[in-house]
Chains A and B, each alone.
Chain A
Amino acid sequence: MKKIILYTALVSLLISSCSEVDFGDTNVDPNAPSAPLASALLTNALTRTEHIYSATRPSMYVQYLANEQYEDESLYRTQRFDYTYDYVTLTTLNKIINLNTDPETADLVGANQGSNANQIAVSRLIKAFIFHTMTDRWGGMLPYTTANQGLESKFNVFDSQLDIYTALLKETEDAIAQIDSGSGPTGDIFFDGNMDMWKTFGNTMMMNMAMRLSKKAPTLGQEYFNKAINGGVIASNNENIYYPYLASEDYDNPWEDRFTTRSDYLISEPFANA
């Protein structure tokens, strides 16, 4: 009997004192790359702005189109929007900036995917562009200063729209200034790495933002409007900037899909008779 108790105690001790087991690479995910590729992240972030251009509501609100059977949008009923998607895109853009800033990765990333400065500048311009469209939609009900810090800041405060625009104007100006003579990002599907076009994009966006301030903060608005004009904005139709849709189903224009089997949208009377 005593022996049994002794053995039990010994085996229990043995079990509890066993150390960790080395399972080697078993838990390394073979299904997806664990190393990021900055150019691929940029292409992804740019395609993730697509929903901004193809949103249905603007066409309803200006009465180009009207809903057919499901008329909530046409009738200006309360619409709910989720900003998760956009904040996740901003995380992707931050990742590109980190890869180009971190001394451990910057050299490699800057060697053949566009200059570090230009990759950062493009990421910053797109970040500003996304926030620009977000604050137009949500106003000041939007965290900006403390946003996108992961667990560092779990509950973020809303910034006023004026503060957001003031910060975005400065950010845009700085991003344009950061553009250097090195090559443009290889993941750029908007302008194929043409940094002059990114300057035009940045200045035109800055001009649009400045216009938003023409009543609320006219002095600031005017200052940045002039900066934008001096920097060079789109001056004619043939300089228009388009989102580059592909024919492939993966990156095609969603308006085509909306009419493949359904007809939820019709030309509105005010537009047809205009």
Chain B
Amino acid sequence: MRQWESWIPSNSKFGQSTPWVSNGGIGDFFNTGLNTKHNVTFLKGGEGYNLKLNVLRNDLKLNIDNANRADNRISFSGDMDISPKLNISTNVSFQDRSTLNNPSEGYNSVGSNVFQWWQAQLDIDALKDYRQGGNIVSWNIKGPRDATPPKYWDSPYFETRENLKHASRKSIIGNIGLDYKFTDYLTAKLSLNKTYEIRNFDSRVAFEGLNTPEYRESYWSRDRNLLLAQLAFNKEFGDFSVSAIGGTELNQLTYQSLSSATKNGLTIPGFYSIETSTERPDYNRYTSEQKSRAMYLTTTLGYKNMLFLDGSIRKDWSSTANPDDNSVLTKGLTASFVFSELLEDSFLSYGKLRGGIAQGPQFPNTYQLSETYGVQPSYGGKPVLSTSSAIFNQQLVGGVREEIEFGTELRFLQNRLGLDVTYFKKTDKNLPTALELDATTGYASVLVNSGEQTYEGFEVAISGTPIRNDNFTWNTSINFATLERKVIKLAEGLNQSDTPFLSSRWGGGLVLRNEEGKNFGEVYGRKIKEIDGQKVIDPQSGTYVTEDNQSLGNYLPDVTGGFINSFKYKNLTLNVDMDYQIGGKYFSITRMFINSSGLGEATVGDNKLGNPVRDPLNGTFIKNADGDDVTDVIVASSANANSGGQYIEGVDESGNQVAYYVKNQSYWGNQFGNISEFLYDASYLSVRNIRLAYDFPKKITDNIGIKGLQVSGYVNNAFLLFSDLPNVDPSQLEQTDTNINFMEGGQLPGVRTYGLNIKMTL
């Protein structure tokens, strides 16, 4: 076969035929990454002062070509007594991180190239040689006489080595605090906290590749200041204890960003800058500021360390709400009862009941109250302004999140066995939300205070020490949590709202639907029609009959949890942590693409007749409505013994049994967009971490003159024991714009990390 290299004149294989065989897949594209971490801490304390200095360096080389990250962090904390009553303290941490080529996922990324649009015969190493005979070359040639530029894809190594992306982040987090002791039961505290963060990004689309060269750069900063003053009272009166904390907070948050991008190409080959943009570059500046204040009082009453009653009141103000109504008052009340205090000599070593209600404010985002007009690029010097597709709302105010919780903590047999059970119900009411509007209103959305959603469930943890003797201890804990998230109310006159996930081009769309009275996050999309559990097939085309906008389940899992074990034998400790999830759904774009493009495993193998599915059909073609042969479908009963094709069976619209062999390529081509076929169960079980540590005995450490030495080895993301798609971990699905992890498309593989850790205490 003449492969791509044979059409590149300067290539040594020019004009030659080479065997068309699989080259072992894309595994070779990934390297083994390396993560090195150094962490040193210095401590010193004395009469009236304490100091701590920590230096951390973390180097990460990713498993993708030419991608790495370096992290430096220095933190210092110290405090000293100025006088017996006044203490001053500070914490400062400085972080400097730089990243080269943070790998991209999703449509059009390197991930989607190697996973969705690939060819199994490609020699990965040959693709590193993407510059040949003065041209940039790629495997994805347009045709024999048209080898450059490529059709849809540059070489993945062109992407990683030429289309460079740099990112850096520098941040300072610090505070200064003053503590003053009036008496032993009354103290005052004043603290000033600051978080300042700057990020810089640049990225390029390199010259000579598939796309028009481009350079982008942006700067982003965030500055948060918090001033906090509080008075704390803490005193015991006989069997009673009282503590009260009252205070106030002043908050200020500022964002700033500048971003620019070249337009329509760059003028100096090999040089990337905004100044060398062919046309006037895009320039965008955004700044936002919000301020908030709060006053609060929390009072706790205790009786004999057995009964506690805790009440709080808080008022928050935010600059982002309607100025005439910019505060939210929230209250809380919790009670707990350690009833084991009343029992003596029981198998119950500790028993506690608690219950409470807590509230929290939720304010609108900045600048959502009054209308502004969008600045568009000028049209040949003429100003251009657009109207907003959202209706602004001057009346927007803060809403309240409320949480009710009841629980118990029980410890039995001298704490050898424990049981924690919690019931919770969170309610979001009248939070500021953007509601989608029917476009015929002239708008796409409106911001309102509306809706009600509840999150209800149980959290249960059982922990125990099945074995404990002088040499060996086994601690174990299993926990699970249920969650039912319900949409109680959306808005006046609206009982359904959809979040679209897939462009309608790809199979009529895939949406997550929120409907009043139903669970949050119901999946709707195209489904193969069924009659009595049998798939319906159209006898005139041999394709499945589909229906759009069908309920396909819920994306949220029913149960999540973990199983944690720690075994300690003398100085050796082994930790094995597992986590799991039951129920939920996710959609795999990768599966849909690789099956329709013939890369998927499902597109090979033998059919019912024992012949490769890719072999040609041999039998009687079905006829379409015009009476013409449909040349990619034969009636199953007419198939000759040597026929290839995918076997499908089901019923026609009247319920009669039908069966066909369909040309493999057509079968998978037709499945494209049938959402129901690429939706997977999000249940999984994973051995997340394994860690084996050895503490050197004191005898040895004393000999070498140090206080402690621990050597440990660990594996993170150790084994995915069970999941619907064997290579996809549903807990690590890529993030989408909507913050709902529900889709997988061109996602890079999960990374298993092996590590060695040496910890020395001097």
- Interface residues of A, Cβ cutoff 8 Å to B: 1, 4, 7-8, 11-12, 15-16, 18, 20-23, 26-37, 39-41, 43-44, 47, 80, 82-84, 87-88, 90-92, 94-95, 142-143, 147-151, 153-156, 187, 189, 246, 248-251, 260-263
Q: Are B371 and A261 in contact (CB under 8 A)?
A: no
Q: Say yes or no for B761: interface residue by CB 8 A criterion.
A: no
Taking CB atoms, residues of chain B closer than 8 Å to A91 are 387, 389, 442-443
Taking CB atoms, residues of chain B closer than 8 Å to A36 are 373, 385, 387
C-alpha gap A88/B440 in the complex (Å): 8
Other-chain residue from B263, B286, B385, B504 in contact with A41 (beta carbon distance below 8 A): B385
Given A80-B505, A147-B442, verify A92-B386 contact (CB < 8 Å): yes
- Smallest CB–CB gap between A16 and chain B, Å? 6
Given A23-B319, A27-B319, A248-B279, verify A4-B379 contact (CB < 8 Å): no
Q: Are B379 and A43 in contact (CB under 8 A)?
A: yes
C-alpha gap A27/B323 in the complex (Å): 9
C-alpha gap A150/B390 in the complex (Å): 10
Taking CB atoms, residues of chain B closer than 8 Å to A84 are 389, 439, 444
Given A15-B295, A18-B327, A34-B370, verify A88-B443 contact (CB < 8 Å): yes
Mask: chain B, 227-256; 1 = CB below 8 Å from A; 0 = not: 000000000010010101010000000000
Given A12-B313, A32-B372, A47-B379, verify A23-B291 contact (CB < 8 Å): yes
Residue of chain B at shortest CB distance from A146: B440
Mask: chain B, 631-643; 1 = CB below 8 Å from A; 0 = not: 0000000000000
Other-chain residue from B244, B279, B323 in contact with A23 (beta carbon distance below 8 A): B323
Q: Say yes or no for B431: interface residue by CB 8 A criterion.
A: no
Q: Are B324 and A249 in contact (CB under 8 A)?
A: no
> 5 A-B contacts, Cβ less than 8 Å apart?
A11-B246, A15-B296, A28-B367, A33-B385, A91-B443
Q: Are B442 and A88 in contact (CB under 8 A)?
A: yes
C-alpha gap A16/B242 in the complex (Å): 22
- Smallest CB–CB gap between B53 and chain A, Å? 38
Q: Are A20 and B325 in contact (CB under 8 A)?
A: yes
Other-chain residue from B369, B370, B385, B442 in contact with A150 (beta carbon distance below 8 A): B442
C-alpha gap A36/B370 in the complex (Å): 13
Q: Are A251 and B379 in contact (CB under 8 A)?
A: yes
Q: Are B372 and A47 in contact (CB under 8 A)?
A: no
Q: Are B291 and A261 in contact (CB under 8 A)?
A: no
C-alpha gap A36/B311 in the complex (Å): 50
Q: Are B441 and A150 in contact (CB under 8 A)?
A: yes
C-alpha gap A90/B439 in the complex (Å): 11
For window 596-635 of B, CB contacts with A under 8 Å fall at: none
Residue of chain B at shortest CB distance from A79: B505
- Smallest CB–CB gap between A13 and chain B, Å? 9
Q: Are A20 and B313 in contact (CB under 8 A)?
A: no
- Smallest CB–CB gap between A92 and chain B, Å? 5
For window 260-296 of B, CB contacts with A under 8 Å fall at: 263-264, 279-280, 285-291, 293, 295-296
Residue of chain B at shortest CB distance from A144: B440
C-alpha gap A204/B686 in the complex (Å): 69
Given A33-B375, A43-B382, A261-B210, verify A249-B263 contact (CB < 8 Å): yes
Taking CB atoms, residues of chain B closer than 8 Å to A260 are 212
C-alpha gap A41/B376 in the complex (Å): 10
C-alpha gap A248/B263 in the complex (Å): 9
Q: Are A261 and B149 in contact (CB under 8 A)?
A: yes
Residue of chain B at shortest CB distance from A16: B329
- Smallest CB–CB gap between B236 and chain A, Å? 11
Top 9 A-B residue pairs of the complex, sorted by shortest distance between their CB atoms: A23-B319, A148-B442, A91-B442, A32-B372, A84-B439, A29-B367, A40-B385, A40-B383, A26-B319
Q: Are A15 and B385 in contact (CB under 8 A)?
A: no
Taking CB atoms, residues of chain B closer than 8 Å to A27 are 290, 319-320, 323, 366-367, 369
Q: Are A33 and B389 in contact (CB under 8 A)?
A: no
Other-chain residue from B212, B382, B442 in contact with A90 (beta carbon distance below 8 A): B442
Q: Are A21 and B317 in contact (CB under 8 A)?
A: yes
Q: Are A249 and B279 in contact (CB under 8 A)?
A: yes
Taking CB atoms, residues of chain A closer than 8 Å to B237 are 1
Q: Say yes or no for B122: interface residue by CB 8 A criterion.
A: no
Taking CB atoms, residues of chain B closer than 8 Å to A16 are 313, 315, 329
Taking CB atoms, residues of chain A closer than 8 Å to B314 are 15
Q: Are B327 and A15 in contact (CB under 8 A)?
A: no
Taking CB atoms, residues of chain B closer than 8 Å to A15 are 295-297, 313-315, 329
Q: Are B391 and A150 in contact (CB under 8 A)?
A: yes
Other-chain residue from B280, B377, B441, B443 in contact with A156 (beta carbon distance below 8 A): B441
Q: Say yes or no for B104: interface residue by CB 8 A criterion.
A: no
C-alpha gap A189/B380 in the complex (Å): 10
Q: Say yes or no for B134: interface residue by CB 8 A criterion.
A: no
- Smallest CB–CB gap between B254 and chain A, Å? 10
Q: Are B244 and A8 in contact (CB under 8 A)?
A: yes
Q: Say yes or no for B438: interface residue by CB 8 A criterion.
A: yes
Known contacts A11-B246, A15-B329, A90-B442; can you find 11 more A-B pairs with CB under 8 A?
A27-B367, A30-B287, A43-B384, A47-B379, A80-B504, A80-B508, A82-B504, A143-B440, A151-B391, A187-B383, A248-B380
Other-chain residue from A40, A41, A80, A156 in contact with B440 (beta carbon distance below 8 A): A156
Q: Say yes or no for B17: interface residue by CB 8 A criterion.
A: no
C-alpha gap A33/B379 in the complex (Å): 18
- Smallest CB–CB gap between B227 and chain A, Å? 15
- Smallest CB–CB gap between A77 and chain B, Å? 10
Residue of chain A at shortest CB distance from B372: A32
Q: Are A151 and B242 in contact (CB under 8 A)?
A: no
Q: Are B383 and A37 in contact (CB under 8 A)?
A: yes
Q: Are B323 and A20 in contact (CB under 8 A)?
A: yes
